[in-house]
Chains A and B, each alone.
Chain A
Amino acid sequence: MNQAVDKLTVADYSSDQEVRWCPGCGDYAILKTIQKLMPELDKPRENHVFISGIGCSSRFPYYMNTYGFHTIHGRAPSVATGVKLANPALDVWVITGDGDALSIGGNHTMHALRRNVDLNILLFNNEIYGLTKGQYSPTSKVGTRSPSTPEGSIDRPLSPGAIALGAGAPFVARSIDTEMKHLSAIIKEGYLHKGASFVEILQNCPIYNDGIFEQVKDKKIAADFRIEVEHGQPLLFGKDSNKGLRLNRESLELEVVTLGNNAALEEILIHDKTNITQANLLAAMQGPQFPIAVGILYHNPVTAYVTDLEQQRLVLRETRGKGKLEDLLNSGHIWEIK
């Protein structure tokens, strides 16, 4: 454990810049959670690099007293990939939003995950475009009324988790902006995972999409509308933990059952975070007929891109030795003119 890191606190990770999100924005809670988590991560401050694109969430790096780069819309995963390739020792974070990561930057998100670049990708999903004043986003529910969809949006939303799994992400999780303990634990797991980690954070926009996640956040009713998945544990939820998820072996779909009513405990699916099929089913669940799954949906490490890259170089250096420019220029057919 690095002593110097141990002694750092939230204040040490706060930059001198005034935070300019709207009052009540979920981003404040996320920022605070990450600033508090930082000292626990056993790395000096200068080792952390936060890369963002464009959008409300992408202002994040300005408020972290670490290295940071506020880039252009949608391209944070690509810039972050370049940072990681240039210096694999750095801890590289990508802060992005639903529009940034899944609309304009969908391609880069997909390929960073597919390549398994060791990035910690945090997607703040508020299901709306905030910075451009409230247009619907690719995660907005059908019927979302916005300045660009006055009669309600008609295109169907995508599930960030399903997209990440489809792209081959080896770590996919979901958490909630204001659930500091849960969020912190999830982000830490993602950080410790070697390879690409993808954490979707349900984040409230109090101005343009207020209360969109209220069912999963409101302590009074949340237990019935969300399921906290834990590896090796049965997939139970509800105020009395008496509801559960069962796999219909005919249709290969999940169904919500009630213990003692239409199901026994043995029939409840046990969460296996290494099972991609189960993760896909969990990520795709939508309310109100299904609970929203939070926690680590999938975690199945494979060798990270940069590790393989360095291995290739190592092997090559062993056979070819370190390159000498003079030899390269004089390779192949050369001839002397006297």
Chain B
Amino acid sequence: MSAITLEAVANASHSPQSQALEDVVVRFAGDSGDGMQLTGSNFTEVTALFGNDLATFPDFPAEIRAPAGSTFGVSAFQIYFGSEDITTSGDAVDVLVAMNPAALTTNLETVVPGGLVIADAGAFNEKNLKKANYDSNPLEDGSLDAYRLLTIDIHSQVLAAVEEFELGHKAALRCKNMWTLGLVLWLFDREKDTTIENLQKKFAGKPEIANANIAALNAGHAYGETAELPTGVNVYKVPKAKVAPGTYRNVNGTQALAWGLIAGGQLADINLLFASYPITPASGLLHALAARKEFDVTTFQAEDEIAAVCAAIGASFAGSLGITSSAGPGIALKTEAISLAVSAELPLVVVNTQRGGPSTGLPTKTEQSDLLQAFYGRHGDTPLPVIASSSPSDCFEVAIEAVRLATKYMTPVMLLSDGYISNASEPWLIPDIKDFASFPVEFLTDPEGFNPSLRDSDTLARVWAKPGTPGLEHRIGGIEKSYETGNISYDPDNHQLMTDTRLAKVAGISADIPEQEVALGENKGKLAVVGWGSTFGPIHQAVKRCRLEGLDVSHVHVRYLSPFPANLKALLSGFEKVLIPEMNTGQLVKILRSEFLIDAKGLNKVSGQPFKIREISNAIKAELA
């Protein structure tokens, strides 16, 4: 939602001069095979290099190659960029690029009235219109009158632009995404150099493809400069954001999480074994770490989810840190083994990149519906720490925390991310690893008085004696163990003591995590909007905007979900009302109500799409009305 909409600019000015905008949302939509993700990521890079703050949201179908022209095969990439801080990928679209009728019909309702729709007339033929259920051509029948329409036969433009390369009709048409990108780069007054460099790199082995794409990009850009465009379509300038000085890069949640795990391993001075089984949208983490064998990380693609978590547990027993990763259905399969790690008191990091459920659900869409699973989804009384990342870049720190807690407390840690965070990207002030305190693990080596049940009196963490150490031979397992000796024990009192100890160990972590702070606003007042995970962005913007309107509302973002920070209850009791937006049917709200006996209220959405800022600000206003 632009502070100054394109519509306003268009109405205010008929001059060809460029116009300034605070922020803008662009959505590229086309067929799965149209290269929209590549177009979007290139535009993102250029935008970030220019100095805008931004957030992106790739939105693609589960089908790898859906039939061409079908509505369920539409792949989209949204970017929100501006000169203010940006924490969401934007509510409503200012500029929609629709590469075919299916892309138009599935995305039009996201466009603001008066927004700019760029459509490839070359794809609006009878066949494609029929596939998108259009009876008549929307580019010609006046149904798009509420928008400003820029209709270009990109098909013909591209074929002409790359003719000299003699690629053949099909290959030539593949360049149309770059032609379109060229036009959009022109529209926002951006340089082409970075994209040209990327294309040269991407097609290093195929110079004729690289050159054709570059020619298409240049042609699209030149089209903007030279063609007679409709009134109000001209160059828009989005000034640079005021951001902290330093070195930046773009990062998505998958990258940041992978790098955070590597960093955590270094801070703990321990090797990592990352064992996983492919599942959308979590597989990216396996790919990211598999490509980084120059670090002390071994990756293992197991035969199934259970084997993956069990291999990770075996690695932890042997003195590495085992990490496993999946999405909800895979986590469900791992739970028996996670309980073993709780019982055996071995470190383990379990990453859940949540997706729409239940069952196969919406594999490529985002949701936060595995929180109760993370808390309670195991047999027996099996407490373990749960933490969640709030944004792509936040994954880096959260991953380090997961490694710290797992190794320090000899416990599995559940790290919750989601499909949005893993794919979305944002600029990131590159951290200096020297700024992080190290937490080297200690392996026991002294046989004097050893037994495997010895524990640290402060943290209650069990000792870590790894195989290969002389004199510390011992046996552990899933059967209940004597608190005193570590040997099998069926003693009733001992089971009570061990259950209490496991609970106390995890509960004690609340003294070892930062106190809960308010992300925005006052420490007490009328309304606290409490969030966790990827709802951070839209909640933050909604609270910010409501506060600008004078409303008494604060934003509390909970990273540490189990145990909660020690002061969370006291903090929340300072507010008259508590509102909890979640992409589920009300999970954190259930926990907070039961733990703290507070009358928290949920705001729930399970459409597979992130919250829009206005959905939350409307709820805030309703609460404070």
Give the B-binding residues of A (Cβ under 8 A).
15, 17, 44-47, 49, 51, 61-62, 64-72, 75, 77-87, 89-90, 107-108, 110-111, 309, 312-313, 316-317, 320-323, 325-326, 328-330, 332-338
Residues in A neighbouring B407, C-beta threshold 8 A? none
Instruction: Tell me the nearest residue of chain A to B50, going by C-beta.
Output: A335
Partner of A86, one of B303, B320, B469: B320
Residues in B neighbouring A51, C-beta threshold 8 A? 314
Q: A321 contacts B294, CB within 8 Å?
A: yes
Partner of A335, one of B48, B266, B468: B48
Q: B300 contacts A85, CB within 8 Å?
A: yes
Residues in B neighbouring A329, C-beta threshold 8 A? 249, 259, 430-431, 433
Q: B474 contacts A328, CB within 8 Å?
A: no
A54 CB to nearest B CB, Å: 8
Q: A87 contacts B48, CB within 8 Å?
A: no
B253 CB to nearest A CB, Å: 15
**A316 CA to B290 CA, complexed, in Å:** 12
B295 CB to nearest A CB, Å: 4
Q: B263 contacts A325, CB within 8 Å?
A: yes
State the 7 A-B residue pairs at the shortest beta-carbon distance, nearest first: A82-B314, A70-B477, A78-B310, A82-B311, A323-B294, A86-B318, A79-B314
Does residue B168 face the partner (Cβ distance < 8 Å to A)?
no
Given the interface pairs A46-B469, A69-B475, A72-B337, the reply to whether A82 lies near B487 with Cβ below 8 Å is no
**A49 CA to B303 CA, complexed, in Å:** 23
Does residue B441 face the partner (Cβ distance < 8 Å to A)?
no
Q: B314 contacts A333, CB within 8 Å?
A: no
**A68 CA to B488 CA, complexed, in Å:** 13
Q: A62 contacts B433, CB within 8 Å?
A: no
Residues in B neighbouring A328, C-beta threshold 8 A? 259, 262, 292, 295
- Chain B positions 261-278 with a Cβ under 8 Å from a chain A Cβ: 262-263, 266, 271, 273, 275
How many chain-B residues does the 8 Å CB contact rule pick out? 69
A80 CB to nearest B CB, Å: 6
Given the interface pairs A90-B468, A330-B247, A334-B248, the reply to whether A312 lies near B311 with Cβ below 8 Å is no
Partner of B473, one of A65, A75, A111, A323: A65
**A330 CA to B259 CA, complexed, in Å:** 11
**A89 CA to B320 CA, complexed, in Å:** 13
What are 23 pairs between A and B in contact, CB < 8 Å?
A: A17-B488, A46-B469, A70-B479, A71-B477, A72-B310, A75-B337, A77-B307, A78-B310, A79-B317, A82-B316, A83-B314, A85-B300, A86-B319, A87-B467, A90-B318, A323-B292, A325-B295, A328-B295, A333-B250, A334-B249, A336-B248, A337-B246, A337-B247
Q: A325 contacts B266, CB within 8 Å?
A: yes
Residues in A neighbouring B550, C-beta threshold 8 A? none
Does residue B344 face the partner (Cβ distance < 8 Å to A)?
yes
Q: A337 contacts B262, CB within 8 Å?
A: no
Does residue B293 face the partner (Cβ distance < 8 Å to A)?
yes
Q: B470 contacts A86, CB within 8 Å?
A: no
**A221 CA to B459 CA, complexed, in Å:** 63
Residues in A neighbouring B468, C-beta threshold 8 A? 46-47, 67, 87, 89-90
Q: B315 contacts A83, CB within 8 Å?
A: yes
Among the interface residues A49, A77, A322, A337, which one has the most CB atoms of the partner chain B within 10 A? A337
Contact with A along B416-432 (1 / 0, CB 8 A): 00000000000000111
